Structures are given as C-alpha cells and as structure tokens.
C-alpha cells in the first residue's frame, strides 16, 4: 500500500490506495479560537462540531473553523502563514499534528511509503528553517506508520500530468506561499528554481496599496507586536483583499480600475521572478540542452485560477526567452488533486523498484 500527503499552506490533502480503491481526505489548513464558555460548548455540541480547548479558549480546526468561525465573530487564522511553521507557537504545531492525524490514515502494514510535499517550494529549500520544517513533518508521517519520501510539488505535477511525454517536461506550481519550477527527464529532476512570492505576497502588497493593514507573509514577528484585535483586523482585511482578487473576471481594459491593474502587475512580477531564475538554471544545465524539444509545460497551483493568468504567463515567457524550446503552457485548472496524484505515483514507483533493489 502507498499514500500521498500534499501539505499546502491553504489546504492539506491525502490520497491512499487500498487495493483498487483510491481514498482521499481534504481539509483547509486554518483554525479559530472562540471564547471559552459553557454556552459556546453546548452550541458546538448541538451542531455536531468537533472542538478542543486550550488556555486561549475553544479551538475549531480545519473545515469546521473555515465554515463556522464567522458565526462566533472569531477570526479564521492560517496554520502555516507564508508556508512555514510558526516559531514559539506550540498550540499551532499541536493543531497541525492533529490535522495530519485526521487527514493521513494510519498505515495498514509496515514499510508503507508516503510521498509528501511541503508548501511554498520548501521541498527545494536547503535553509536551516526549511530543514527544521521538514523534520517536523517527516516525524508526523512516521508516527502514522509510513516511510516518508519527499517530492517537490512541481515534480509531482509532472508525474500526474505528463504521462504521454514519459514524465519529461517542465512543471511549475504557483501557490499561495511561493512558486517553484522543475525540469524533469523521465520523472527525475534535472534543474529547478523557487520563489517565496506567491498569492499571499500578492495579497499583502494589495493590502498596502489599498489601505488595508498587512500581516505580512512571515507572522512570527507580527505575533509579538500589536494587539490581538489589530492582528485580527489585519487578517480579516487581507482575506477580503484575497476574495476580491479571486473574484476578478477578465483582464482590465479600464485605466481607472486600479485594483485589477495592480493585480495584473503583481502577478506579472511574481511569474517573472520565478521564470527568470528558472531560465538562469536552464542555461547552467548541460543536460537541459540535450533533451528532445519542444518540451511540454504544465502549470498548477491556486494562482493559476486568477483571471488572465494564462495571457500574463505567455507574455512573461516571451520576455524571459527560455534557452530551450517549449510548447504552449497547459494550465491544470480542473483538479485540485493533481499534485496528490503525482505524489501517489511517486510512492508507487518507489514501492515497485524496491524489490528489485533488494534483489540486486
């Protein structure tokens, strides 16, 4: 048996094969703290909502927090702001652990493989903080009885979407907390690039421009300054900015529509930063020039849902002028489980190759 765990800053997804059946679980990666009172607890029990208590109050987790926090006038907060584990916040780490236990079922046998990816390109980050995050998540996966295998989200996207090209091509993920790109040959990475600019960064810049206070991508320092009311107001304001961005329809042709024009500009900057860094890596790679061309490009992640994304991506790629010939990028907008499917394929390939490795 094999499993996949797609750890995103906005949602956590798992996919597991049991025989010929695929089982999937999903939850938003958020929480909310409600005032602790017998009345609140009775109301939650009557609604059939699961909750826990802590020193701060009553805690709702995942989809329950997303759907019901507003009813109690409590802000819904991200568990992984900026795609990273918060420092000095044991409550959030405990909640992430609890959420992973719910989303990833316990392994049915020993040595089951679970492929996992981290949010915001952290799987491609070798910094000390990224390694600490990885150790935390690997420990959670092992506690569920699996043998973890780290796979970048962009590589998983290639495994899920580029079957017809024998898993050869470019995978790009434009996520909430960051973006990443990989060139792979038969599923094996050749070169890659990553950026910490994603949907959260765009929303924080929009918040600054249009007057809403910004909580920033890194919440650790913010958590230590300002009042809880100020932070809650800033968070709600930035969520409103995000909803406004996601509801845009069509590219702006009106110079007076400052918000739509700013979204396009920030989106172009985000795409350019990643593609420019990726182009530099391709130039340095001798193997990249030896691959048969033109190479397919597949794109995933929440940012590709933004209105006009494909047009902006095409113009950026023409400006960057990648050193290899490519096909027109394909946007994977119809499935939120593409990365999870690619992770499961990676786990299956690993499980299939191990008997041969042991025999050798």
Q: Using 50, 70 and 90 to split pLDDT, how confident is the model at 360?
A: very low
Q: Is residue 307 part of a domain?
A: no
**Which of 198-202, 226-230, 232-236, 247-251 has maximum average pLDDT?**
198-202
**Chain segment 325-346, per-residue pLDDT in tens:** 999 999 998 778 899 999 999 9
The answer to whether residue 325 is domain-embedded is no
The Cα angle at residue 196 between residues 191 and 202, in degrees rounded to 5: 130
Average model confidence (pLDDT) across the chain? 87
pLDDT tens digit sequence for 10-28: 999 999 988 888 999 999 9
Query: Is it the case that residue 249 has pLDDT exceeding 70?
Result: no
Is 204 strand, coil or helix? helix
Looking at the domain assignment, is residue 43 inside a domain? yes
Domain that holds residue 47: 2-150+349-359
Note whether residue 245 is domain-resident. no
Banded pLDDT at 294 (limits 50, 70, 90): very high
Residue 288 has phi, psi (to 5 degrees) of -60, -35
Cis peptide before 258 (omega within 30 of 0): no
Structure tokens belonging to residue 329: 């990028």
What CATH number should be reported for the domain holding residue 85? 3.30.420
Whole-number pLDDT of residue 232: 59
Specify the pLDDT at position 221. 42
CA angle, residues 131, 276, 155, in degrees to nearest 5: 50
- 185 within 8 A of 168, measured Cβ to Cβ: yes
Please give the tally of structural domains in the chain.
Answer: 1
Q: How far apart are CA 119 and CA 80, in angstroms?
A: 9
Task: Please check whether residue 107 lies inside any domain of the structure.
Answer: yes
Give domain status of residue 269, yes or no. Answer: no
Question: Is residue 184 in some structural domain?
Answer: no
Q: Report yes or no on 53 lying in a domain.
A: yes
Average pLDDT, integer, range 121-132 = 81
Phi, psi dihedral angles at 197 (to 5 degrees) = -90, 120
Q: Rounded to whole angstroms, how far apart are CA atoms 191 and 185?
A: 10
* Positive/negative CA dihedral, 59, 61, 66, 67: negative
Taking residues 258-285, what's their average pLDDT?
A: 95
């Amino acid at each position: 048996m094999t499993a996949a765990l797609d750890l995103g800053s906005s949602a956590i997804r798992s996919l597991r094969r049991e025989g010929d059946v695929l089982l999937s679980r999903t939850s938003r990666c958020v929480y909310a703290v409600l005032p602790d009172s017998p009345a609140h607890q009775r109301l939650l029990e009557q609604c059939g909502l699961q909750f826990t208590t802590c020193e701060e109050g009553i805690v709702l987790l995942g989809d329950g927090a997303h759907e019901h926090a507003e009813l109690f006038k409590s802000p819904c907060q991200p568990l992984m702001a900026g795609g990273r584990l918060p420092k000095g916040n044991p409550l959030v780490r405990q909640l992430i652990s609890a959420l992973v236990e719910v989303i990833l079922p316990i392994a049915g046998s020993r040595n089951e493989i679970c492929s996992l990816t981290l949010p915001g390109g952290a799987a491609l980050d070798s910094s000390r903080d990224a390694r600490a995050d990885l150790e935390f998540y690997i420990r959670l996966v092992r506690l569920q009885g699996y043998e973890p295998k780290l796979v970048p989200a962009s590589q998983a996207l290639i495994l899920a979407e580029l079957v017809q090209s024998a898993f050869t091509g470019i995978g790009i993920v434009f996520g909430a907390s960051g973006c990443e790109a990989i060139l792979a040959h038969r599923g094996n990475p050749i070169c890659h690039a990553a950026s910490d600019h994603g949907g959260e960064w765009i929303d924080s810049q929009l918040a600054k421009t249009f007057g809403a206070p910004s909580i920033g991508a890194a919440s650790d320092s913010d958590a230590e300054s300002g009042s809880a009311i100020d932070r809650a107001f800033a968070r709600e304001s930035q969520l409103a900015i995000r909803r406004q961005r996601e509801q845009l329809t069509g590219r702006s042709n009106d110079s007076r529509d400052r918000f739509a024009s700013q979204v396009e500009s920030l989106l172009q900057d985000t795409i350019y930063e990643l593609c420019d860094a990726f182009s530099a890596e391709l130039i340095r790679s001798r193997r990249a020039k030896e691959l048969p061309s033109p190479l397919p490009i597949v794109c995933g992640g929440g940012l590709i849902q933004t209105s006009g994304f494909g047009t902006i991506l095409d113009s950026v790629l023409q400006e960057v002028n990648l050193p290899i010939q490519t096909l027109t990028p394909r946007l994977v907008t119809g499935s939120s489980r593409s990365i999870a499917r690619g992770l499961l394929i990676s786990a299956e390939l690993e499980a299939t190759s191990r008997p041969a490795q042991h025999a050798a």
